[in-house]
Structure 1
Amino acid sequence: MSYKFTSESIRKRIKNVKAIFRSDDRSASRVDGSSDGTLDGLVTNLDSDASSLDLTSPRRASTSTASKTNGHNGHINVYHLEDRNGAGDYLERDESPGRSPDNHESQEDVPRGRSREPKGKEPVQEEEEITITNGHASPAESVTTSTVSTFVDPSTVFRAWQDDELQLQREVIEKYQTGAKLWTKEELVNIEKKINTVNPILLQSYVGPNQKFERQVGLTYRVEFHGYRDLAFPPPFRPNGMPYCPMTLKTMPYDYSFSRDLEIELDAFHKCTAIWLANPIGQQFYSMFMRLPLPPDINKVVCFNLGSITAKPADDHPKIRQAMYKHAAAMTIIEALHRRFGTVIQLFAQDTTYCAECTQVLFQKGFSVVGLHGAGGFAEIDDKTLVFAPNPGFCLKEIVADTAEPAAMFWDTVLSPEEAEKANRSHRSITLEDGLTSHWEYYETDPDTPRVRSLVENYERHPFPTTNLLGNVSLYTRKQQVKSETPSASESNSTSGSDSKSTTIPNAAATTEDVEGTEK
């Protein structure tokens, strides 16, 4: 079943919660779904291009709980549908045995890979009003103690760590500063192989004791990554005693029982591809890869976490259609590079939500599915690879920074520490005892760590317009290298008066004027 709301019904829902929240013009424009002339608005209004295909996310106004049986392992996944801030945000929780109930997956429609907001009570009507901009309270508003306490539970924001945990976290920081890597290609390939062949599996810790993981028969597992931020500055929901391992294993909580005939799935994919190519976002995307300087020797595009395209019928599930648009974008990159350089380019995709039907459809469209358990795909990245990973939902940039230096990357924009603090800082304050208040930073699933920032220093950044499909992303291309060779003394004497410097510009986008200017 799908849940679709017209602009009129959404406006009625806003009116019902107006006693609590006063929406400003900007947020009202976004909720209304009307096109504001931006690319984000164009994506939201794809219904004008296709009768039943749109990119708006399904919303549900009431707070309810639904459950379904996991197709892989029989676990029950509980889906909490909460009308948070009157926006009907969709929260999914995996209540598999042994999993902390607060350790949620990254949520849909949360910018820059943030997890959901800290857990709190349902808001009640207060005398004070709070302006909501993109789901967050405006910092300009004065919030009373009684109002703030109804939103956030301090225990979900702050935590008193035990001394032994703090000691291990300090060791993580010290080891990281020495340059010790959290991941290597060899380790990523080995864990991908061991998942189905070795039991128990020894998981290497970055600091502290290693962990032995006992697999259960009949369950399917994927690799879960824990980067520098998770280990050195862990979120409050991290369980006590959990080993400080960069990689752990987790059951895969996806249900593929809704997959249909291959021809039907291919037809849905073709429709979404046609919409993508005709849409201004798709055209802008194609123009970017045709126009900007790119290394001519790129022979591989590796995609990460673009989403399942056959888990459920695309007509009724916008999330499935969004995954199809992302795969169509990857195919656009291949087409643009082939037209520019005439090279044959391999196309790889890794996503642990892929099922057999996904693999068949993608094979028909030229994709090679790798890393079925979520780790092997990183071994495909080398210096002739373009990485395509918008909003991956895990610490992908950190892994790439530790294991490779790709030719180019299209992923979430890397922010400076100051920019990241401003982007992730909560707009709501939380009231503690005796009237003390504090703000917190939202938990990021793909944070910008020191090594990530160090990596992109060698790349030129080309921002792409922010959309609700790809998020806040940029294309990073390796900087143009200009080398000058100084002739020896004998060569200088034999070529007196002549300029014997040689200039090498490996970037195919360099023009004749660039070369002449360098020689001068």
Structure 2
Amino acid sequence: MSKGNNYLSAANPENQARLLFWRKSSQRAAELYDSGAKLWKKTDLRDIENQLRTEARQFTVQSINGEHVSTPNIMLNTRDPIWKPYVKFREYWRLVKTQPDDPVETYHCSYLVDWSNQVARNFRGTTGNLNSVFEARRNSWKKSSSCRLLTSQLLRLLDIKKVTKVICFGLGDMCRQPPEWLKRQMESSGQNLEDITAGSMVQHSIALTIAEVCRNNGTNTIQLLTQDPDYTEESKGLLERNGFTIVGQFGAGGFAEIDEGSVVFSVSVEAPLKQIIADIARPTMIISTGFGIFNDHE
């Protein structure tokens, strides 16, 4: 047997015990999934999102075998925390194929609380003229052939009468400046620093177009929701002024909003979006990047 993740070393009994535990855990996870157990539930996603809004001493998640697993709130009573909690997802293959580095009691958890350091993120600051730049990007999008094509495809393929909400995931922040190394590189090559947020601005403009098509051609009131834990306060303000409602600020709550009346629009979400959707809802339409669905590990 070759040495590697599956090598049982008698010289390291702790690693041997962890590996044996992992093998049994992964077998049990596969059995639970095959029997119809859900990896994600709306109630669990709402619950962890609500927990992370509080000053709780600990946060608790529910594993796929029904057990509760708690982790301490390391920033409790910290006046200016540099660490922000967020929800980290484990897709199916992480539960049955790849042994994680996390504690063994979390092996059956399809989601966990993790922490993101905000120091470098906050140091970068934000760009100016946000409203005018976004309006220019939006107008440019609306005049494009891509916008006309999207509109015609939505009218052809979408059952607009069913739509009650448009939910966006991972569309990106729209005003954070690039890292210093990239800023210097862009300035030396004559690039405009505003170009760094162009993609995100266009993506949010696309979301506005989807909502407008549904509102103009249907009878329902259309909610426009968006989730991205990386949004700055400035971006949140801009989005709210343009009709968006911010959801899932810790990366979980927005998924619980998906239902049969939803159009889901996703670009760069750091979560197994399609696997989550398969467990919790059957939306009217999913607009996403690429064709990878459930088995990127294979």
TM range (shorter): 0.7 to 0.9
Matching residue's letter, 1:285? L
Task: Please state if 1:354 is matched with 2:228.
Answer: no
Q: Equivalents in 2 of 1:208, 1:164: separation in Å?
A: 18
The match for 1:239 among 79, 97, 101 is 101
Deviation at 1:298, TM superposition (A): 0.8
Give the TM-score of the pair, scaled to structure 2. Answer: 0.79
Provide the C-alpha distance between the structure 2 equivalents of 1:164 and 1:385, rounded to a whole number of angstroms. Answer: 40
Higher alpha-carbon Rg: 1
**2:130 aligned to which of 243, 261, 265:** 265
Displacement after TM superposition at 1:281 (Å):
2.7
Among 246, 256, 262, the alignment partner of 1:369 is 246
TM-score by length of 1: 0.47
* Partner deviation per Cα, 1:61-111 (whole Å, 9 max, x = no partner): xxxxxxxxxxxxxxxxxxxxxxxxxxxxxxxxxxxxxxxxxxxxxxxxxxx
**Residues 227 and 252 (structure 1), Cα distance of their counterparts in 2 relative to 1, 3 Å cut:** same
2:264 aligned partner: 387
Deviation at 1:391, TM superposition (A): 3.9
The Cα of 1:180 is off from its aligned counterpart by 0.7
Are 1:203 and 2:80 an aligned pair? no
Name 2:40's counterpart in structure 1: 183
For residue 252 of structure 1, give the secondary structure of its aligned residue in structure 2.
Answer: strand
Q: CA deviation at 1:172?
A: 0.6
**Aligned partners of 1:300 and 1:346 also within 8 Å:** yes
Q: Give the superposition deviation at 1:317.
A: 5.6
- Return 5+ residue gaps in structure 2 as ranges: 8-18, 76-80, 179-190
2:177 to 307, 312, 315: 312
Q: Which amino acid aligns with 1:197?
A: E
Quick one: structure 1 residues 317 and 231, their matched pair in 2 at CA, closer, same or farther if it must change by over 3 Å? farther
Could you tell me which amino acid in structure 1 is paired with residue 90 of structure 2? H
Alignment of 1:287-436 (within 5 A): 287-312=152-177, 315-316=192-193, 318-412=195-289, 414=291
Structure 2: how far apart are the matches of 1:363 and 1:240? Answer: 37
Does the C-alpha gap of structure 1 residues 208 and 409 become closer, same or farther in structure 2, counting only changes over 3 Å?
Answer: closer
8 Å CA contact retained: 1:168, 1:208: no
- What do residues 208-253 of structure 1 show as CA deviations (whole Å, max 9, x unaligned)? 975321122223211111121111122x7x3164422111112234
Q: Which amino acid aligns with 2:30?
A: I
Shift in alpha-carbon separation, 1:383–1:344, aligned structure 2, 3 A = same
Percent identical pairs in the alignment equals 26
Q: 1:228 aligned to 2:92?
A: yes
Deviations 1:116-140 (A, max 9, x none): xxxxxxxxxxxxxxxxxxxxxxxxx
Counterparts in 2 of 1:319 and 1:253: CA distance versus 1, 3 Å: farther
Residues 57-206 of structure 1 aligned to structure 2 (within 5 Å): 159-160=5-6, 162-195=19-52, 196-206=54-64
* More helix as a share of residues: 2
Tell me if structure 2 keeps the 8 A contact 1:168–1:207: no
Q: Which one scores higher on RCO, CA 8 angstroms, separation ≥ 6?
A: 2
How far, CA to CA, are the matches of 1:300 and 1:176 in structure 2? 30
After superposition, the C-alpha distances for 1:39-69 in whole angstroms (9 at most, x for unaligned) are xxxxxxxxxxxxxxxxxxxxxxxxxxxxxxx
CA distance in 1, matches of 2:236, 2:102: 38
1:301–1:388 contact (8 Å) kept in structure 2: yes
Gaps of at least 5 residues in structure 1 are 1-153, 425-440, 443-520
RMSD: 2.7
* Paired amino acid for 1:384: G
Q: Would you say 1:279 and 2:136 are equivalent positions?
A: no
Give the aligned residue type for 2:101.
P
- State the 1:291 CA deviation: 2.4
Aligned length: 262
